[in-house]
A = this chain, B = another copy of it.
Amino acid sequence: MRAKGEAFRTIWQKPGDPLVVQIIDQRMLPHEYVVRDLRSWQDGAHAISEMLVRGAPLIGATAAWSLYLAAAAGRCAGNAQREVQLAADSLRKTRPTAVNLRWAIDRVLAVARASDEQHLVATLEREASAICDEDIEISKGIGRHGLPLLEEIALRKAGAPVQVLTHCNAGSLATINWGTATAPIYFAHQKGIDIHVWVDETRPRNQGSQLTAWELAENGVPHTVIVDNTGGHLMQHGMVDICITGTDRTTRSGDVANKIGTYLKALAAHDNNVPFYVALPSTTIDWTISDGIRDIPIEERDPREVSQVFGLTREGTGTVQTIASGTPVLNYAFDVTPARLITGLITECGICEASESGLARLFPERAVRK
């Protein structure tokens, strides 16, 4: 994935000023490409909770970099370890559903505890950097393993475009680069396979129409935006060959929490015999729980995400209020798709059935530990 003519990353240290971490303010896309400085772990926590960054892997990476910033801030006062612990406790609460957040924090904390105060900043810089590098490799692994699914459809359709439907943004912007659901798409596109993506708008935050459409356009991948209501109709009429989404948390039995509305698309896919795949780094698997509908906490967010819509006005970017003031609004951010509706999970280690045995086969060491 390349954007703005540069080799693309969603989070990086500022050139010449390694104590500043930079991100793209994804709230402004596609209308403005704004880079923001994170100068403290509080900036990082704000970026996560206010969704300047979003997407499970990028949330994890941002938390890791935030802990590095905490260590740097604590160093001057001689209490870097304490500051890191404090930051970790706060960061953990920013988003309840994504499990990568917890995973990244735990990983960095383990490294921090093994480090002495003097080397803490350098250690956490290395760790955050490693998490990002590994995430790119993970995305590429997902791309490699998912590619044959698309190649097979291309072969069957003999030249007609492979029609993929995706929900929300599980793209480069949700990771460090390449994305999860989009990695097989980018790999197929680079291989010259004729591919077209149906992009769900993804209310309320419009991550599909604003983020996925943006990065597909930047990479020259043909796509069409549809409202979230449309996917079922397309599938009824044979206009979708395969659905691929991401996930914020996957249970050990293969239930998948992802952006609200994913479940509805999985139902439509099931009803129309369209394969429904979920792409994920193994870091999004929560081995401690099995029943996703019962046990995954679903974040409830500000009703204004529904009632205020962001975009371009005549005077630049701005919002309109679509709903009458005082109207009650409820805004759940995720839903859970039960494993029975999922054809397969595409991970960096291969594809498996969305089931306890399927996941155990692919990750025997993790499944046993539980």
Interface residues of A (CB under 8 A from B): 30-31, 201-204, 206, 209-210, 213-214, 217, 222-233, 236-237, 259-261, 263-265, 267-268, 271, 293, 298, 306-307, 309-314, 318-324, 327-332, 334-336
Contact = CB atoms under 8 A, between A and B. Distances in A.
Given A217-B327, A232-B264, A327-B213, A309 B306 contact: no
Contacts of A227: 203-204, 228, 260-261, 306, 331
A321 to B, nearest CB: 4
Nearest to A239: B330
Given A225-B323, A313-B320, 12 more contacts: A203-B203, A209-B306, A209-B307, A210-B323, A213-B327, A217-B324, A222-B328, A225-B330, A226-B306, A228-B228, A229-B264, A233-B298
B327 A320 contact: no
Contacts of A268: 263-264, 267
Nearest to A329: B225
A213, A264, A310, A332: most-surrounded residue (chain B CB, <10 A): A264
Contact of A214 (B31, B237, B324, B334): B324
A330 B163 CA distance: 14
Given A267-B268, A268-B267, A309-B311, A261 B228 contact: yes
Helix, strand, loop or mixed for chain A's interface? mixed
Given A228-B229, A313-B318, A213 B324 contact: yes
A259 B230 CA distance: 10
Given A201-B203, A309-B311, A329-B226, A323 B209 contact: yes
A24 B56 CA distance: 46
B223 A306 contact: no
A334 B232 CA distance: 11
7 contacts: A210-B322, A225-B328, A227-B260, A227-B331, A230-B260, A233-B335, A309-B311
A3 to B, nearest CB: 13
A273 to B, nearest CB: 14
A331 B209 CA distance: 13
Given A203-B228, A229-B260, A232-B267, A310 B320 contact: yes
Nearest to A325: B312
Contacts of A231: 264
A104 B330 CA distance: 39
Contacts of A230: 260-261, 330, 332, 335
In the A-B complex, the 6 residue pairs with the closest CB atoms: A229-B261, A311-B320, A233-B335, A30-B324, A311-B322, A203-B227
A335 B232 contact: yes
B330 A226 contact: yes
